[in-house]
């Protein structure tokens, strides 16, 4: 069980959220042949309890608000199991207003850049509503990665639309959406001094996208969101800075190539198009590549390779950031090349055999690498 000490209950994989018949079902879709509800449960108190918890001491089950913080959770994995991809969602027709960034069916607006204004949570909520949206709702890891990748230009941590203002420790989105996903930082939410009820997303060059509860009165950057809309006129056509098949982000162009190749052949293919296997320079690049470029695919080659006892990027950038998975790099014989998992695996990196065949991520950049620091060559 993840969560110890004062944790008295733990989430299990039982829910009736989204079920048309209202019946509880296991999230892995295995048949429900056994239950152990506590007396009087499930009771769906206030019509808001859709997920199941197990009591740590007596073992009885209770339905609870899915956004409730403070519980542990129990994971189960059968040998050979991998993550279950989310079912495809229907396309949402429409466009985003000028200045908003589109990701799938949502539009996001980032406020609080150095030259921009910041606000407390309540004012930020009202301002977003005045733009036809709300403070951002983040429903999955890919959306969190997308938002995180654009936080670099913001001066401070960014408010999103989650709070427990209505009921202590029961977190809810300001637009009434169900809480389907959270990404709390370590030991958060902690309601420091009993005064932290609104949620912001933190960011730095090394770690971005973690959530933290904070005092709602603090002035911070913030992120608005709205759905794409058919009432919004399509944007005028613009010439992409990237060649066909690539997606633009900051000063870089990225492309994932599905056809598996060895690391060496993948690098040659990227070089033939004027690029390299992708380098990852900071947490924002990591979030964009793992959550937006890979978007739920399996692992793919990036441009990191071990030479002697150290790792180097093929494009000459210094190694300033890494995202190794648990126990990685393993330094097993022959495992000198690095692949990145998609956001389904939190974008972690793994050293593996260079002659394995994998998809790969190419990067074409107009930004030259910085000069070597003294003593580096």
Token pair of 109 as six digits: 């607006």
Coil, strand, or helix at residue 203? strand
Q: What is the DSSP string of 267-335?
A: HHHHHHTT-EEPP--SHHHHHIIIIIISTT---EEEEEEEETTEEEETTS-------BPTT-----TT-
pLDDT in tens, 32-84: 888 888 898 898 886 767 888 988 777 888 888 776 666 788 888 766 665 55
Q: What is the pLDDT of residue 371?
A: 66
Q: How far apart are CA 301 and CA 320, in angstroms?
A: 18
Which of 3.20.20.70, 3.40.50.720, 3.40.640.10, 3.10.100.10 would CATH assign to domain 101-227?
Answer: 3.10.100.10
pLDDT over 90, % of the chain: 54
pLDDT in tens, 75-104: 887 666 655 554 444 445 688 998 999 999
Q: What is the CATH number of domain 9-73?
A: 3.10.100.10
More confident site: 239 or 257 = 257
Domain 9-73 and domain 101-227 have a common topology = yes
92-106, 228-242, 249-263: range with lowest mean pLDDT: 228-242
Would the pTM count as exceeding 0.85?
A: no
Q: What is the pLDDT of residue 93?
A: 62
Q: How far apart are CA 2 and CA 175, in angstroms?
A: 30
Mean pLDDT of the chain: 86
Average pLDDT over residues 14-26: 76
pLDDT in tens, 305-327: 998 889 999 999 999 999 999 99
Q: Which of 161, 171, 168, 107 is nearest to 135 (CA)?
A: 161
Average pLDDT over residues 268-291: 95
Q: What is the CATH number of domain 247-365?
A: 3.10.100.10
Best mean pLDDT range from 242-246, 290-294, 361-365: 361-365
Structure confidence at residue 145 as a pLDDT band (50, 70, 90): very high
Residue 170, beta-bridge partner list: 68
Domain boundaries defined on the chain: 9-73, 101-227, 247-365
182-186, 222-226, 289-293: range with lowest mean pLDDT: 289-293
pLDDT over 70, % of the chain: 87
Q: How far apart are CA 113 and CA 78, in angstroms?
A: 46
Structure confidence at residue 157 as a pLDDT band (50, 70, 90): very high
Q: What is the pLDDT of residue 151?
A: 93
Structure confidence at residue 123 as a pLDDT band (50, 70, 90): very high
17-31, 314-328, 332-346: range with lowest mean pLDDT: 17-31
Q: What is the pLDDT of residue 11?
A: 86
């Amino acid at each position: 069980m993840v969560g110890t000490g004062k944790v008295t209950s733990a989430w299990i994989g039982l829910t009736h959220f989204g079920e048309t018949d209202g019946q509880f079902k296991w999230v892995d879709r295995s048949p429900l042949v056994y239950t152990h509800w506590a007396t009087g449960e499930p009771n769906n108190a206030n019509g808001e309890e859709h997920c199941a918890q197990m009591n740590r001491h007596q073992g009885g089950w209770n339905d609870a608000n899915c956004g409730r913080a403070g519980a542990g959770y129990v994971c189960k994995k059968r040998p050979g199991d991998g993550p279950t991809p989310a079912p495809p969602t229907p396309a949402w027709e429409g466009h985003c207003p000028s200045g908003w960034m589109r990701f799938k069916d949502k539009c996001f607006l980032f406020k609080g850049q150095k030259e921009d204004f910041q606000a407390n949570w309540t004012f930020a909520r009202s301002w977003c509503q005045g733009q036809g949206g709300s403070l951002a709702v983040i429903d999955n890891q890919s959306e969190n990665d997308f938002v995180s990748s654009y936080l670099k230009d913001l001066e401070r941590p960014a408010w999103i639309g989650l709070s427990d203002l209505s009921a202590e420790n029961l977190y809810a989105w300001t637009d009434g959406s169900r809480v389907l996903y959270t990404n709390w930082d370590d030991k958060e939410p902690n309601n420091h001094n009993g005064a932290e009820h609104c949620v912001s997303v933190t960011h730095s060059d090394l770690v971005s996208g973690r959530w933290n509860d904070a005092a709602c009165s603090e002035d911070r950057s913030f992120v608005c969101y709205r759905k794409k809309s058919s009432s919004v006129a399509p944007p005028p056509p613009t010439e992409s800075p990237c060649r066909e098949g690539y997606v633009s982000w900051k000063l870089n162009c990225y492309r994932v190539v599905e056809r598996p190749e060895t690391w060496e052949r993948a690098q040659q293919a990227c070089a033939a198009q004027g690029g390299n296997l992708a380098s990852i320079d900071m947490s924002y690049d990591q979030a964009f590549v793992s959550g937006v470029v890979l978007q739920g695919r399996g692992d793919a080659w990036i441009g990191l390779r071990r030479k002697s006892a150290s790792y180097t990027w093929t494009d000459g950038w210094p190694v300033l950031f890494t995202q190794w998975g648990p126990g990685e790099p393993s330094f097993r014989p022959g495992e000198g090349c690095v692949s990145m998992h998609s956001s389904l695996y939190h974008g972690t990196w793994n050293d593996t055999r260079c002659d394995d065949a994998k998809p790969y991520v190419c990067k074409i950049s107009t930004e030259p690498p910085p000069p070597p620091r003294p003593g580096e060559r």
